[in-house]
């Protein structure tokens, strides 16, 4: 992991939390820029991201640059005291480039060329794209490395968002080279891919194609390796551009991640990528119609904090209100913007940045909210933005502190996610993300902070580790969990975990293969449930999605399936491993059942739970080693109470013993040292 350098950015911002967002001045006449800077000052904006989609204007023709307008923008911002996260503008090649190099356009799995006219229309393996981005990056960093407004570099934008894997011939050849490096000899590939099946045996690497659309299911290990390759290929693009920036400038370099939203269709292995970030940054957008979207936000932020090794990270984008790309773009309710921003900060962000500064009047995103709405400053959103700016100043003393007190980790391996999304599995209803969310939510409701970790990470600081549907498990990951449990830890393992090895081969001899000795429960057959079906359990409510036929070997049965196809078979078991305890859950519990089980497990593992009322009062703490701050965010419709002593930085009020957080309210309490 590279050293995280967020503190250099906040130092450049005089110790303040970064506040601002994407600024696209090229969409507006220059007289508007003056108003922009004035209003940024009024709102307390201190950092804007400039140039993300500016390639077409910065390089009007190949090798000829027009930096005049960008010079003027950066000078204006600097004169206004606003710092810049400067993009290298490589996210979207201009139309002239795609016309000159049509072979650089991406090709989908059906062999259809994706046109330019939207964004990110390039093949990551294209040598033309790579040399053009290297030239552009060099030109930009040479010109602006010494500009006093610039405090960090922003490479590209949301890798993998729209440039999903490319299946063209150039990508195919790069895939062959990647496979040759990985397997060295073709027989090793045949073994890993199980090509004895369906006459898929390969004699030479150059026979292999990307997993293009075929008559039916393409070889799953080929698909998995292609996801790994596609992530590596985009990472090579990032690294090449970041290296150029670092060669010319000492400032930290990042690119904006998209949290949990990356699946097999848009492969990015963020754990691997995080090692190459000088600071981890993330974009998060609420799913407006999800009634518990604030919990999903919390989970995403916890994941990003894991990528940043627990240190402060950058919230590079979120929205002040509605987005434009969901089926129904529901606007945020009053106070929701404030709660969302402070949630990210409560979970480790030292920045609250948005897409975007000024709402666009043209283009596909003209209905996307912004800091400055179409209606201008006489608007609720603007007033909330100004208030948020003041709140961030009021809590600035938390800058540099870290989220503390996480006694629980949830395991999330990228390969497990990708492999769980391959074709032809027992049921389409089994979702690693849903299962992860179920367990995170159960802990969230109790106010228990969770970290995200890989199975192979050092888990020794945790009391409880949850393994939700980690379908693919390496030997190293299984060993790590075994030693965690053996040394006294508590582990919860759910159905569809440890089923295959890293080549997506079934681990034979009974499920959950990799974890059989840990669970002490042997499953012999899966019985997925019908859509919407629930089967009763003898305890902890009912199960959904999955049921199983099995029996305890060394485990104790806590609940059986009371109905359904596997009535009498164990649904939840507990096993002693060394000095630790392993729970196995063979179905998807309801939120109430998960909460009940989690509460019992926390008590049995002596993990403290905050004293608070209400499931929707979100509690976290940050610490700088000397002081601690408690963040209490009430998403519920009733006032809620938490036990805490200290001073609420947002109001200046002292709290003694208990603090009441009004429905929709937020408190950030510097705690009294006992």
Nearer to ligand GLA, 283 or 413 (CB): 283
- 158 versus 502: smaller Cβ distance to ligand GLA: 158
Q: Residues 148-167: x/- map of binding to ligand GLA (CB under 6 A)?
A: ---------xx---------
Closer CB to ligand GLA, residue 52 or residue 619?
52
Can you state the angle between helices 336-346 and 380-394, rounded to 10 degrees? 30
Identify whether the C-beta of residue 523 lies closer than 8 Å to the C-beta of residue 550.
Answer: yes
CA 209 to chain centre: 30
Phi/psi of residue 257, nearest 5 degrees: -80, 175
The least distance separating ligand GLA from the CB of residue 317, rounded to whole angstroms, comes to: 5
Contact assessment for residue 316 and residue 282, using Cβ atoms and an 8 Å cutoff: yes
Contact (CB, 8 A) for 138 and 243:
no
When binding is defined by CB under 6 A, the residue of 323, 430, 500, 514 that contacts ligand GLA is: 323
Four-CA torsion 13, 19, 21, 27, nearest 10 degrees = -80
Give residue 394's Cα distance to chain centre: 28
- Cα separation, 259 vs 414, whole angstroms: 12
Least separation in angstroms between residue 361's CB and ligand GLA is 16
Q: Which is nearer to ligand GLA, 330 or 549 (CB)?
A: 330
**Torsion angle, CA of 290/356/272/170, rounded to 10 degrees?**
110
Q: Which of 154, 305, 332, 368 binds ligand GLA (CB under 6 A)?
A: 368
Q: Which of residues 630-649 bind ligand GLA (CB under 6 A)?
A: none
> Which sign does the torsion angle of CA 151, 239, 233, 183 carry?
negative
283: contact with ligand GLA by CB under 6 A: yes
In whole angstroms, the minimum distance from the beta carbon of 91 to ligand GLA comes to 8
In the complex, minimum distance from the CB of residue 365 to ligand GLA, in angstroms, rounded to a whole number: 6
How far apart are the C-alpha atoms of 674 and 671, rounded to whole Å? Answer: 9
Single residue of 285, 357, 527, 583 touching ligand GLA by CB under 6 A: 285
28 or 183: CB nearest ligand GLA: 28
317, 391, 415, 616: which one binds ligand GLA (CB under 6 A): 317
State the minimum distance, in angstroms, from the CB of residue 536 to ligand GLA: 42
Residues in 590-619 that interact with ligand GLA by CB under 6 A:
none
| CA quadruple 67, 70, 71, 72: dihedral sign | positive
| Cβ pair 330, 322 in contact under 8 A | yes
Q: Give the CA-trace dihedral at 92, 96, 97, 101, to 10 degrees.
A: 140
Q: How far is the CB of 464 from ligand GLA (least distance, A)?
A: 33
Judged by CB under 6 A, how many residues of this single chain contact ligand GLA?
A: 9
Closest to ligand GLA by CB, 284 or 622: 284
What's the closest the beta carbon of residue 52 comes to ligand GLA, in angstroms? 6
Sequential DSSP letters for 531-559: TT-EEEBSSSSEEESEEEEEEESS-EEEE
Nearer to ligand GLA, 52 or 416 (CB): 52
User: Which residue of 355, 357, 495, 561 would you call a contact of ligand GLA, by CB under 6 A?
Assistant: 355
User: Which CB sits closer to ligand GLA, 265 or 475?
Assistant: 265
Phi/psi at 606 (nearest 5 deg)? 55, 40
Shortest distance, position 293 Cβ to ligand GLA, whole Å? 14
Q: Could you list the active site residues?
A: 158, 317
The sheet with strand 47-50 has its strands ordered as 253-254, 150-154, 83-87, 47-50, 18-23, 351-354
Residues binding ligand GLA (CB under 6 A): 157-158, 283, 285, 317, 323, 355, 365, 368
């Amino acid at each position: 992991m590279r050293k995280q350098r967020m503190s250099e950015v906040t130092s450049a911002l005089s110790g303040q939390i970064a506040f601002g967002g994407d600024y696209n001045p090229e969409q507006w006449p220059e007289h508007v820029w003056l108003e922009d800077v004035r209003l940024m000052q009024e709102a307390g904006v201190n950092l804007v991201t400039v140039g993300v989609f500016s390639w077409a204007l910065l390089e009007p023709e190949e090798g000829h640059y027009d930096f005049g307008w960008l010079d003027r923008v950066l000078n204006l911002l600097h004169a206004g005291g606003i710092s810049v996260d400067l993009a290298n503008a490589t996210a979207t090649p201009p139309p002239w480039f795609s016309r000159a190099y049509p072979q650089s356009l991406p090709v989908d799995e059906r062999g259809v060329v994706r046109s330019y006219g939207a964004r990110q229309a390039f093949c990551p393996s294209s040598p033309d794209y790579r040399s053009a981005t290297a030239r552009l990056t060099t030109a930009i960093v040479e010109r602006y490395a010494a500009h006093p407004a610039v405090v960090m570099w922003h490479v590209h934008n949301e890798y993998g968002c729209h440039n999903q894997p490319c299946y063209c011939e150039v990508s195919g050849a790069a895939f062959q080279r990647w496979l040759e490096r990985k397997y060295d000899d073709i027989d090793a590939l045949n073994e890993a891919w199980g090509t004895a099946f369906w006459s898929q045996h390969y004699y030479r690497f150059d026979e292999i194609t990307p997993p293009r659309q075929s008559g039916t299911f393409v070889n799953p290990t080929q698909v998995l390796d292609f996801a790994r390759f596609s992530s590596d290929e985009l990472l090579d693009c990032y690294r090449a551009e970041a290296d150029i920036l670092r060669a010319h400038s000492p400032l930290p370099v990042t690119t904006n991640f998209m949290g949990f939203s990356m699946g097999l269709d848009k492969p990015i292995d963020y754990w691997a990528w995080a090692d190459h970030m000088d600071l981890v940054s993330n974009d998060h957008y609420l799913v407006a119609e999800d009634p518990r979207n604030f919990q999903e936000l919390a989970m995403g932020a916890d994941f990003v904090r894991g990528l940043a090794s627990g240190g402060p990270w950058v919230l590079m984008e979120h929205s002040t209100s509605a987005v434009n790309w969901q089926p129904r773009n529901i606007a945020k309710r009053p106070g929701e913007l404030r709660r969302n921003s402070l949630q990210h900060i409560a979970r480790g962000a030292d920045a609250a940045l948005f897409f975007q500064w000024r709402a666009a009047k043209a283009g596909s995103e003209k209905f996307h909210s912004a800091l400055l709405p179409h209606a201008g400053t006489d608007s609720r959103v603007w007033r909330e933005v100004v208030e948020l700016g003041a709140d961030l100043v009021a809590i600035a003393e938390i800058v540099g502190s870290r989220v503390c007190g996480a006694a629980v980790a949830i395991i999330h391996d990228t390969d497990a996610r990708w492999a769980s999304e391959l074709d032809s599995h027992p049921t389409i209803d089994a979702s690693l993300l849903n299962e992860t969310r179920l367990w995170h939510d159960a802990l969230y409701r109790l106010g228990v902070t969770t970290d995200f970790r890989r199975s192979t990470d050092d888990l020794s600081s945790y009391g409880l580790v949850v393994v939700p549907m980690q379908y693919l498990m390496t030997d190293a990951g299984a060993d790590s969990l075994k030693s965690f449990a053996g040394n006294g830890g508590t582990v919860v393992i759910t159905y569809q975990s440890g089923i295959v090895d890293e080549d997506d081969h079934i681990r034979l001899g009974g499920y959950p293969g990799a974890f059989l000795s840990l669970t002490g429960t042997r499953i012999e057959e899966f019985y997925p449930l019908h859509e919407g079906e629930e089967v009763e359990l003898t305890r902890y409510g009912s199960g959904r999605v999955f049921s199983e036929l099995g029996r305890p070997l060394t485990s104790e049965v806590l609940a059986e399936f009371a109905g359904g196809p596997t009535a009498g078979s164990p649904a939840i078991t507990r096993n002693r491993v060394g000095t630790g305890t392993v729970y196995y859950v063979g179905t998807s519990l309801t939120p109430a059942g998960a909460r009940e089980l989690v509460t019992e497990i926390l008590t049995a593992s002596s993990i403290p739970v905050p004293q608070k009322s209400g499931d929707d009062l979100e509690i976290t703490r940050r610490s700088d080693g000397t002081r601690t701050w408690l963040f209490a965010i009430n998403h519920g419709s009733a006032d809620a109470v938490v036990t805490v002593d200290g001073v609420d930085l947002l109001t200046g009020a002292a709290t003694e013993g208990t603090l009441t957080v009004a429905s929709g309210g937020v408190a950030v309490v510097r705690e009294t040292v006992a």
